[in-house]
């Protein structure tokens, strides 16, 4: 026998026993995204590599070492599996002129791909739910995003997720800061690692974002952008903080929070937890007012965030939240040639009534079929033999709470099964 194939490292199958938790998460999030007026957008998982280089930035971990890029052998185009959702969302908005009628609130969900070293909470294929608000300049939208996240943590029963915010200022202050930071880092070259030394002159802000703990002291002593902001940026940041306070939410200003993608300016934020080891960020985002123009559009302010679904699900699991496993309401057992057609009609009739019904396939004795019915977790068995087929009836047997087997017509059986549903599922 040949060897069984395994999934690609860092890319996970999500098995049926896990999907109820995913579905619960997706439904809860979708409900709240709608409550805030965000409309769903879906873009391809594959884009031209150039899109990510131009948006995320050439000197970033993602673009330098984490992208799944390849040349399409059929036409020579260089393509990349999307490592994040913002760039594609902005690309689609520009391509379809979605900003023509006015600002847009958009949301997306789906797999993203980064060639990182896999560990708990860090995968090569992972899932994000993200939102992007395009065409809004004020900190009121920044705070809307923060409020949405806080609302979601509550709706998902999660606590202990802390909010950190920072501002990256505008282009003038950042250019000034870049100079000061480069000078400082040059003075500490001996303490930098290879990555940091390389970035020193290409993208010094990235050095602050290092994952190397040996650089912690150098980073801690670095000058702060926050101390030299333009007045408008400072005002934006102060208003944002006032509004977060007005919502009664706690937060911490972290002047070292620079984010791993280059498109940000002004507000940046991360939601972090101590419960997931090294992978502490469950959600992150901020303002990217320059990106629309950078990708060829008329300048438009914008901001957004994305959360890591696997990380949030892990937190929900740690908090003891277990989604009820899915089980059918009906398992239909049938035997005898004359019974087959009747069984097929009955099971469709059940589905017409909105019931979930599994039809036994593959034959076998009633005894073995009833064992399967039990193992399926179904609440009821419907039994169709020659006798039921002749009489145009079905036998209904409760499988979980006891009770007699009764012979009924299919419509009455459906009514009884529906009546047995918990009130909130009717």
The residues binding ligand HAM (CB under 6 A) are: 84-86, 114, 116, 121-123, 126, 128, 130, 132, 260-261, 281-286, 288, 304-308, 310-311
Q: Please name the residue that has the structure tokens 């123009």.
A: 293
Assess contact for 56 and 294: CB atoms under 8 A: no
CB of residue 279 to ligand HAM, shortest distance in Å:
7
Our CB check for ligand HAM shows the closer of 280 and 340 to be 280
Our CB check for ligand HAM shows the closer of 22 and 366 to be 22
Rg (CA), the chain: 28
Our CB check for ligand HAM shows the closer of 123 and 136 to be 123
Assess contact for 123 and 113: CB atoms under 8 A: no
CB of residue 263 to ligand HAM, shortest distance in Å:
8
Our CB check for ligand HAM shows the closer of 42 and 201 to be 42
Assess contact for 301 and 350: CB atoms under 8 A: no
Q: Strand 104-113 relative to strand 39-40: parallel, antiparallel, unpaired?
A: parallel
Our CB check for ligand HAM shows the closer of 236 and 311 to be 311
Our CB check for ligand HAM shows the closer of 93 and 382 to be 93
Our CB check for ligand HAM shows the closer of 115 and 176 to be 115
CB of residue 322 to ligand HAM, shortest distance in Å:
22
Give Cα 352 distance to the centre of its chain: 33
Assess contact for 390 and 361: CB atoms under 8 A: no
CB of residue 99 to ligand HAM, shortest distance in Å:
16
Q: Which residues contact 235 (CB under 8 A, 6 or more apart)?
A: none
Our CB check for ligand HAM shows the closer of 111 and 336 to be 111
Our CB check for ligand HAM shows the closer of 139 and 286 to be 286
* Residue 301 structure tokens: 């302010």
Q: Strand 104-113 relative to strand 125-134: parallel, antiparallel, unpaired?
A: antiparallel
Closest residue to ligand HAM using C-beta atoms = 308
Our CB check for ligand HAM shows the closer of 304 and 385 to be 304
Assess contact for 166 and 263: CB atoms under 8 A: no
Our CB check for ligand HAM shows the closer of 313 and 330 to be 313
* Residue 269 structure tokens: 């934020």
Give Cα 388 distance to the centre of its chain: 49
Q: Which residues contact 186 (CB under 8 A, 6 or more apart)?
A: 200
Q: Is the dihedral of CA 214, 258, 273, 89 positive or negative?
A: negative
CB of residue 151 to ligand HAM, shortest distance in Å:
17
CA distances from 358 to 256, 327, 331, 361, 396 (A): 55, 10, 5, 9, 14
């Amino acid at each position: 026998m040949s060897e069984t194939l395994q999934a690609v490292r860092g890319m996970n199958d999500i098995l049926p026993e896990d999907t109820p938790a995913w579905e619960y998460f997706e439904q809860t999030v979708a409900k709240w995204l709608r409550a805030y007026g965000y409309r769903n957008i879906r873009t391809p998982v594959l884009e031209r590599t150039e899109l990510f280089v131009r948006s995320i930035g050439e000197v970033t971990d993602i673009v330098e070492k984490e992208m799944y890029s390849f040349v399409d052998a059929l036409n020579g185009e260089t393509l990349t599996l999307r490592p994040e959702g913002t760039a594609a969302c902005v690309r689609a908005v520009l391509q379809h002129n979605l900003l023509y009628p006015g600002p847009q609130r958009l949301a997306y969900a789906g797999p993203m791909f980064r060639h990182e070293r896999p560990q708990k909470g860090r995968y090569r294929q992972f899932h994000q739910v993200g939102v992007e608000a395009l065409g809004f300049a004020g900190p009121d939208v920044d705070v809307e995003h923060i409020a949405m996240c806080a609302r979601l943590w509550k709706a998902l029963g999660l606590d202990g997720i802390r909010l950190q915010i920072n501002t990256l200022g505008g282009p003038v202050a950042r250019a000034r800061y870049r100079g000061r930071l480069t000078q400082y880092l040059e003075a500490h070259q001996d303490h930098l690692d290879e990555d940091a030394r390389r970035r020193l002159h290409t993208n010094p802000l990235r050095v602050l974002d290092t994952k190397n703990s040996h650089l912690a002291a150098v980073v801690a002593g670095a000058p702060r952008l926050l101390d030299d902001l333009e007045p408008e940026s400072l005002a934006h940041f102060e208003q944002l903080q006032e509004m977060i306070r007005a919502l009664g939410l706690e937060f911490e200003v972290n002047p070292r929070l620079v984010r791993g993608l280059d498109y940000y300016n002004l507000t940046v934020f991360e939601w972090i937890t101590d419960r997931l080891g090294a992978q502490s960020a469950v959600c992150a985002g901020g303002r990217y007012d320059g990106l629309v123009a950078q990708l060829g559009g008329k300048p438009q302010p914008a901001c957004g965030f994305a959360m890591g679904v696997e990380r949030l699900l892990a937190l929900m699991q740690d908090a003891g939240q277990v989604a009820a496993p899915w089980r059918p309401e009906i398992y239909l057992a049938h035997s005898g040639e004359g019974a087959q057609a009747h069984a097929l009609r009955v099971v469709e009739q059940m589905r017409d009534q909105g019931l979930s019904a599994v039809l036994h396939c593959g034959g076998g004795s009633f005894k073995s079929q009833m064992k399967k019915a039990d193992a399926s977790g179904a609440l009821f068995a419907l039994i169709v033999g020659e006798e039921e087929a002749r009489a145009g009836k079905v036998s209904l047997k409760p499988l979980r709470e006891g009770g007699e087997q009764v012979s009924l017509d299919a419509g009455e059986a459906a009514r009884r099964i529906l009546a047995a549903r918990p009130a909130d599922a009717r």
